[in-house]
Amino acid sequence: MSTEPRGWRKSSRSAQQTSCVEVGRTVDGAAVRDTKDRAAGYFTTTAGQWAAFVGAVKASRFDG
């Protein structure tokens, strides 16, 4: 079984943007990488960390 992230996706809300991140699935969570520099690698999160982050975004906790 491969441990590399799969199914990289960019948000449909950022389709026209050049400064974005992509999210890929991992066996136990998610991976995030910069679309401008994919060769630089990615960082990973656990499923719980990713769920907490997505929940905070949906709750507008990062809105300025």
pTM, two decimal places: 0.78
Q: Tell how far CA 47 is from the center of its chain.
A: 12
Q: What are the residue boundaries of the structural domains of the chain, listed by start?
A: 6-57
pLDDT value of position 21? 87
* 1 pLDDT tier (thresholds 50, 70, 90): very low
Give pLDDT tens digits for 20-39.
889 999 999 999 999 888 89
The candidate with the shortest Cα–Cα distance to 31, out of 2, 58, 4, is 4
pLDDT value of position 23? 94
DSSP 3-state of 6: strand
Give pLDDT tens digits for 39-50.
999 999 999 999
Q: Work out the mean pLDDT of the chain and round it to a whole number.
A: 88
